[in-house]
Amino acid sequence: MNIETNLDGKTALLNQLTSGDFEAFLYDCDGTLADNMQAHKDSYVKVAADYGIQLNDSIIDELAGWPTILVAGEISTRYNTPFDAKDFAQRKSAVFFEHFIDHTQPISFVVDHLKRNAGKVKIGVVSGGSRKTVTRTLTVLGIYDLIEVLVCAGETPNGKPFPDPFLKAAETLGVNPAKCMVFEDGDPGVKAAEAAGMKWIRVDKI
């Protein structure tokens, strides 16, 4: 099976899974719309090395969806290396922005799904990344203008895996959480969607 056929199959399956009376589709960004998780991992590893940490980047998969500052704090704890998590997060974001963001590629079948449904249902992006980084990522992917609400790190009392970011998106869009479908690639995001009373799909499992 060639790549295009595979993508077409994934697109069809995603369309099938999201049929129904949903009023809003809420997408995670990194690893869901943007094929950039390795770039994020490389950024974390590069900054961690500055603190004398040889980082096993599997922690980034484990904590997918967490705000960067909380991931930084967890790295500090696990590697027993005290540092300012805010400083680490800022440096990590700067490395990613400078070296990787403009080369971001789409996860084609998810981006296609968003484009096909824009104007039919309300569209939101709910991310653990900074607003600056997520905005740039969505712009590079050519879909920023289709997003009706954007909820990013630090904009709710709690981030994923708490429901706050998804509930804020639903409230801003004026949609009942039960009428929202969430698209995610990590356990924290799924837990947040479930806690918010929303249906969800793990796009990395399709």
Averaged in consecutive runs of 10 residues, what is the pLDDT profile of the chain (206 residues)? Answer: 55 91 97 94 96 96 88 96 96 93 94 96 95 95 98 95 97 98 95 98 94
Question: Where are the strands (E) in the chain, listed by range?
Answer: 24-27, 122-126, 149-151, 180-184, 199-202
**What pLDDT, on the 0 to 100 scale, is given for residue 7?**
54
84-114 pLDDT, tens digit each: 999 999 999 999 999 999 999 999 999 999 9
**What pLDDT, on the 0 to 100 scale, is given for residue 5?**
44
* Cα angle for residues 54, 87, 49 (degrees, 5° grid): 15
Pairing label, strands 122-126, 24-27: parallel
- What is the DSSP code string of 139-195? HHTT-GGG-SEEE-TTSSSS-TTSSHHHHHHHHHHT--GGGEEEEESSHHHHHHHHH
Domain ranges of the chain: 3-36+106-205, 37-101
Rounded to whole angstroms, how far apart are CA atoms 54 and 175?
Answer: 44
Question: Which of 180, 174, 115, 120 lies closest to 142, judged by CA?
Answer: 115
Superfamily of 3-36+106-205 according to CATH: HAD superfamily/HAD-like (3.40.50.1000)
Rounded to whole angstroms, how far apart are CA atoms 150 and 172?
Answer: 9
